């Protein structure tokens, strides 16, 4: 898993207001989510299941909540955003995550009311945070023009289909360590994925060819 320091430099506009510049700023995020990377990195992890005894049935070596917090805080800094893709477990443990901003996509075990005091932002369903980049709790299929970062699948055995690229960040699947979204994007996770506009044009061209063949026949 990726970890690393966030370098913050300062640049001043003509009006004297400082501008923050970061190694892992994500300018491609849609405007409603761009503030996630304004002061630091964006880290993602799913299925924390704090204080959930049933986790030992999934993985006998599932770490204690204290150990899981230690692993998260080893990567996450106070200037960063931490995004949980659902199934938090006992929500009051979130208070001990170091991140300055905490975001939750509700999972099938989460109650909004219990989680609300511990998160700055809560979303109910799948979230397109950038072009071709979908965050969700459960895996989403049928989107060949997107990458779906999700959790929920503790066995990493979901019937993924070739028409959508998936990255499973359920805690036990990715080593109980959060993943840096900016570094994921820089590593090329979105490369080779056609845009929906390109696919629409290609399909129309293919339909047009088939129509011409039918006329000839």
Q: What is the pLDDT of residues 67-90, one digit of tens each?
A: 999 999 999 999 999 999 999 999
First to last CA, the chain: 57
Q: Is residue 207 in some structural domain?
A: no
Query: In the prediction, which pLDDT does 3 show?
Result: 31
Token couple for 132: 């071709």
What is the rounded average pLDDT of the residues 159-182? 86
Instruction: Please give the tally of structural domains in the chain.
Output: 1
* Calpha distance 138→130 (Å, rounded): 18
Query: In the prediction, which pLDDT does 79 show?
Result: 95
Token couple for 107: 């999972």
pLDDT band at 204 (very low <50, low <70, confident <90, very high): low
Token couple for 84: 């949980």
Q: Is residue 162 in some structural domain?
A: yes
* Calpha distance 114→101 (Å, rounded): 18
Q: Is residue 199 in some structural domain?
A: no
Q: Is residue 142 in some structural domain?
A: yes
This prediction has a pTM of: 0.79
Q: Is residue 210 in some structural domain?
A: no
- Domain extent at residue 95: 8-192
Q: Is residue 78 in some structural domain?
A: yes
Q: Is residue 206 in some structural domain?
A: no
Q: Is residue 43 in some structural domain?
A: yes
pLDDT digits (tens, 9 = 90+) for 107-165: 999 999 999 999 999 999 899 999 999 999 999 988 888 899 999 988 876 666 556 68
* Calpha distance 127→129 (Å, rounded): 6
Can you give the CATH number for the domain in which 145 is found?
A: 3.60.21.10
Beta bridge partners of 149: 135, 167
* Calpha distance 25→156 (Å, rounded): 30
């Amino acid at each position: 898993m990726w970890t690393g320091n966030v370098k913050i430099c300062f640049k001043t506009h003509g009006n004297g207001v400082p501008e923050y510049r970061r190694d892992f700023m994500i300018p491609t995020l849609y405007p409603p989510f761009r503030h996630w990377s304004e002061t630091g990195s964006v880290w993602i992890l799913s299925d924390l299941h704090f204080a959930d005894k049933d986790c030992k049935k999934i993985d006998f070596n599932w770490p204690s909540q204290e150990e899981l917090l230690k692993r998260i805080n080893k990567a996450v800094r106070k200037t960063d955003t931490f995004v949980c893709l659902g199934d938090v477990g006992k929500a009051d443990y979130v208070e001990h995550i170091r991140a300055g901003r905490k975001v939750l996509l509700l999972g099938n075990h989460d109650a909004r009311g219990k989680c609300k005091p511990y998160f700055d932002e809560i979303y109910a369903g799948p979230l397109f945070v950038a072009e071709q980049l979908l965050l969700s709790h459960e895996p989403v299929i049928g989107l060949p023009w997107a990458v779906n970062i999700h959790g929920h699948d503790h066995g990493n055995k979901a019937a993924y289909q070739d028409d959508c690229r998936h990255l499973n960040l359920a805690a036990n699947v990715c080593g109980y360590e959060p993943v840096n979204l900016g570094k994921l994007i820089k590593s090329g996770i979105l490369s080779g994925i056609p845009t929906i506009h390109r696919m629409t044009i290609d399909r129309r061209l293919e339909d047009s060819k088939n129509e011409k063949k039918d006329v000839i026949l």
